[in-house]
Structure 1
């Protein structure tokens, strides 16, 4: 388990709806400092919040952030993008490469940069990766594919970092009420509720968060016949 009290937290995609809640809730739980990272950092109203420029698709940017924030004890890989079109055969090459770089390789390489720093602290450290219910339900083209890859890498990293006492938490959730989901008409989870669930699980020592009914159903579907998960295959 990892306590947020006294922690040093780094949040990627901190300007967004979920990211902002991670920043605020970490401080509410006693974090001593939060690095709020984004490609274009915003100004915050709390001296405990340190804005940092970070492009998770750029290796030099990742190295610079790791050098600027060696005291981090909790890394939250929250940044991500989605594209409008749904099919792997209809995405543009730019959409595919951009999604892979942002949603999968970015969190992986950022984790690789911070893993030695976290491991050296010998406990009370964590990495939190934001997946999606769509990791387990392949209806969103490259978005589903990259989130599935991130989920798999989270499982691997959890095993690799466990001996060093680094807790690795994977988060699955359906629609969250943010600007990214503005087009969706289905039920949406309040981002504050999501962040509370994530931090509660982290402080309780859990490895995985199923934040809503959608993610619970998606995980249950992993053991079902493909024709049940994807009825169109039964036609």
Structure 2
């Protein structure tokens, strides 16, 4: 069973709202070391936090991180980005850049660290998804997160023989810099990360961090019109 106590953790996108919570709550649960990975690492004023440069879209950066952080037990693929506007209006190049960060980045990081995790007893990977993995109201962001959801399912199967737990975290709007312009009700990041770590230590493979994620996933078994009422037959 994976535990944060005495673990070594790597968090991508560590400078963001969720990333900061992943770092601080790992320490609160007894992690002995946390690699706080970001494109531009910052000082954390804690000897247990090791800032490292990691750009999830750069293969050389990923390989360097996997070499320097060879004692990692838990990898958290948290780095991500979003874009605005309709998918049909977005230049394909922008979509490819989004996929580089939100899909290919987590896959590349997991591939690089899989041998590290195996050598250290199996460990775990957490991939940060979204409720928008399951509902297409997020335009290209939904596309990228839906693809990451399936990648997580595949990686879970492929890494199971080496004893690596792969957990997918789904959440709705959460109060982070990425959602600064959203006026809807938002989750507290501290609650989301607490639930993620509770699920990890309980051996879960998926954590739905809020009611909207629970409701939307349940709706996947219903007709399409249940998730997209605008397509319901008019009376």
Question: In the alignment, which residue of structure 2 is the partner of 1:65?
Answer: 65
The alpha carbon displacement at 1:173 in A equals 0.3
CA distance in 2 between counterparts of 1:217 and 1:29 reads 30
CA distance in 1 between counterparts of 2:216 and 2:91 reads 27
TM-score (norm 1): 0.97
The gaps in structure 2 that reach 5 residues or longer are none
TM-score (norm 2): 0.97
Question: In the alignment, which residue of structure 2 is the partner of 1:120?
Answer: 119
Question: In the alignment, which residue of structure 2 is the partner of 1:151?
Answer: 149
The alpha carbon displacement at 1:76 in A equals 0.2
Aligned alpha-carbon RMSD (Å)? 0.9
The alpha carbon displacement at 1:131 in A equals 0.2
The alpha carbon displacement at 1:75 in A equals 0.1
CA distance in 2 between counterparts of 1:139 and 1:66 reads 35
CA distance in 1 between counterparts of 2:72 and 2:120 reads 10
CA distance in 1 between counterparts of 2:80 and 2:6 reads 27
Question: In the alignment, which residue of structure 2 is the partner of 1:47?
Answer: 47
Question: In the alignment, which residue of structure 1 is the partner of 2:75?
Answer: 75
Question: In the alignment, which residue of structure 1 is the partner of 2:28?
Answer: 28
Question: In the alignment, which residue of structure 2 is the partner of 1:99?
Answer: 98
Question: In the alignment, which residue of structure 1 is the partner of 2:199?
Answer: 201
Q: Across the two proteins, how many residue pairs are aligned to each other?
A: 233
Deviations 1:116-163 (A, max 9, x none): 11112224x110000000000011111001101110011111111111
**Greater than 3 Å deviation, 4+ residue runs:** none
